[in-house]
Amino acid sequence: MSERACNILIMGVSCFDGMASSMRVRNLVEPLVQKKLITASNLIYQKDNKEPIGNEGVKNDIRYKVIGFRLRNIFSIFSFLYKGLSFIRASRIKQNKNILYNYNYPDIKNIVFILYAKIIGYKIIFDIIEDNNYQAHTGFVNKFRLKTSLFIFRFSKYFANAMIGISNHLYELIQKSFNNKVPAYLIPITVNLQYFKVDNKIDENNKNLKIFYGGSFGQKDGLEYLVSAFDEVANNHPGIELIFSGLAHTQDFEKITQQIEKAKNKNRIIYKGYLSTQEYYNTLNACDIFCMTRVNSKFANAGFPFKLGEFLASGKAVIATSVGDVPAYLQNKKNALLIAPESVEEIATALNKLINNPGMRKELGSEARKTAEQNFDSEKISNNLLSIFNSVS
């Protein structure tokens, strides 16, 4: 009997906003859609203004619908549930294997959708990218959501057909939590290599180098250490710039901007805000040194920084703190400079080494690109996801 084609309903994330969560799913799903190995739909809870889309339509061959939920209007929950349940039913293809692929945990917002999908014949797969046991609780609503996610997660063995972890910690957490009663898989960070133009051109004069960090500005990211280190190094290198991009919670962003305002070289610390997909990758291709400065917290160690894959794929030199799964892929002075977390001194030392040594930048960048190609190529890793889709029963 031939294998049924897989029809995937993506939930828990928009495939079109350009953030790490979106790119995680896009990198895994889009290659399969483009090759017509699966069909896919995307149920989007609420629309943001990062890369505007309509309330429904088709983009990148993925059909989507924004169902909307406004916390200030409690009655909107009825419309939210009705539209969501209707889209789940409408997205089901009778002759295919229907799979609900949920980004991260089941929680109070999605559990009704998940159970309904299960009842009408969907297989359920969770892609776990954080450990909510260590997630910081900010605000009543977020705290309640996180608490419910951990409670519901314990019972998901009754409705989950498979679970994916982005890191070894999360993979082992899934195995331990369900005693191998739910199939567990490890799919690490991924990167679309086609976004990067690797030319190995190095600024031999070391005068106008651009140092880059992109992503969130949370406590786990250690940006206060990076800003302090840059401010110190910039005193001796008047041409270098520190480039930031991304979005952050207001409190986290204000903390960093206040620190930048006090920096001696604040005029060379440039925040570009949220960038469209094309603008973001154009910026990456124009930078020279990339920094991933996660702190040594339980939460930071549990995950796997998505942006690290993109930094490596750039073919430029990378400075990374040795946390979580990072040492499993990176070796100091071979394909990156590995440093201790939360150390201004080690970040500054690593920056000075790379600024003063173009040969080291070129060699590390070349090895970084190879690491991305061997371990994080979305074209290759998407086939692993397809195997999981085909295996669930």
Rg (CA), the chain: 22
Residue 263 has a CB neighbour count (10 Å cut-off) of: 17
Q: Rounded distance, CA 117 to CA 88, Å? A: 7
Same domain, 66 and 207: no
Same domain, 198 and 320: yes
End-to-end, the C-alpha distance of the chain in Å comes to: 15
Q: Is residue 162 part of a domain?
A: yes
Domain presence at residue 298: yes
Averaged pLDDT of the chain: 92
Query: How far apart are alpha carbons 81 and 74 in whole angstroms?
Result: 12
| Predicted local confidence at residue 77, as pLDDT | 87
| Residue written as token pair 């959501």 | 145
Residues 283 and 18: their CA atoms lie apart, in Å, by: 14
pLDDT tens for each residue of 104-154? 999 999 999 999 999 999 999 999 999 999 987 667 777 888 999 999 999
Q: What is the CATH number of the domain that holds 46?
A: 3.40.50.2000
Are residues 21 and 148 both part of a single domain? yes
Number of domains in the chain: 2
The domain of 121 spans 6-190+377-391
Are residues 98 and 235 located together in one domain of the fold? no
Instruction: Looking at the structure, tell me whether residues 127 and 272 fall in a common domain.
Output: no
Q: Rounded to whole angstroms, how far apart are CA atoms 274 and 260? A: 18
- Specify whether 232 is located in the same domain as 267: yes
What SS3 state is found at 68?
A: coil
Residue 127 forms part of a structural domain: yes
Please, what is the Cα angle at 336 between 330 and 340, to 5 degrees?
Answer: 80
Looking at residue 274, what is its pLDDT? 85
Whether residue 192 has pLDDT greater than 90: yes
CB-based burial, 96-108: b 16+ in 10 Å, e otherwise: ebbbbbbbbbbbe
Is residue 74 very low, low, confident or very high in pLDDT (cuts 50, 70, 90)? confident
Euclidean distance between CA atoms 10 and 305, whole angstroms? 22
The per-residue DSSP string of 304-337 comes to --HHHHHHHHTTSEEEEE--TTHHHH--BTTTBE
Q: Which of 150-159, 271-280, 284-293, 352-361 has the lowest mean pLDDT?
A: 271-280
Bridge partners (DSSP) listed for residue 289:
211, 317
The enclosing H or E element of 271 equals strand 269-271
Do 95 and 148 fall within a single domain? Answer: yes
pLDDT tens digits, residue range 154-171? 999 999 999 999 999 999
**Cα 102 to Cα 60: distance, rounded to the nearest angstrom:** 19
Longest dimension (CA), the chain: 70
67 token code pair: 């169902």
Residue with tokens 């020279």: 288
In the numeric block, which tokens belong to residue 10?
């993506």
Rounded-to-integer distance, Cα 46 and Cα 95, Å: 30
Q: Read off the pLDDT of residues 271-283 as tens digits, 9 standing for 90 and up.
A: 998 888 889 999 9
| SS3 state of residue 243 | strand
Whether residue 215 lies inside any domain: the answer is yes
Tokens of 256: 């960093």
Q: Does 72 fall in a domain?
A: yes
* 50 — pLDDT class (breaks 50, 70, 90): low
pLDDT for 382-392, tens place per residue? 999 999 999 99
Same domain as 147, residue 74: yes
Length of the chain, please?
393
Are residues 33 and 64 in contact, defined by beta-carbon separation less than 8 angstroms? no
Cα gap 76→223, rounded to integer Å: 38
The string of pLDDT tens digits covering residues 209-266 is 999 999 888 889 999 999 999 999 999 999 999 999 987 777 788 889 999 999 999 9
- Structure token pair of residue 114: 């998940």
Report the percentage of the chain scoring pLDDT > 90.
79
Tell me, yes or no, whether 172 lies in a domain: yes
Residue 222 lies in a domain: yes
In a domain, 1, yes or no: no
Q: 198 and 165 share a domain?
A: no
**What is the rounded CA–CA span in Å between residue 378 and residue 24?**
9
**337 and 212 within one domain:** yes
* Beta bridge mates, 212: 243, 290
My answer on whether 117 and 259 are in the same domain is no
237/106 same-domain check: no
Each residue of 331-341: pLDDT tens digit? 999 999 999 99
Cα–Cα distances in angstroms (integers) from residue 121 to residues 82, 96, 287, in the given order: 19, 10, 48
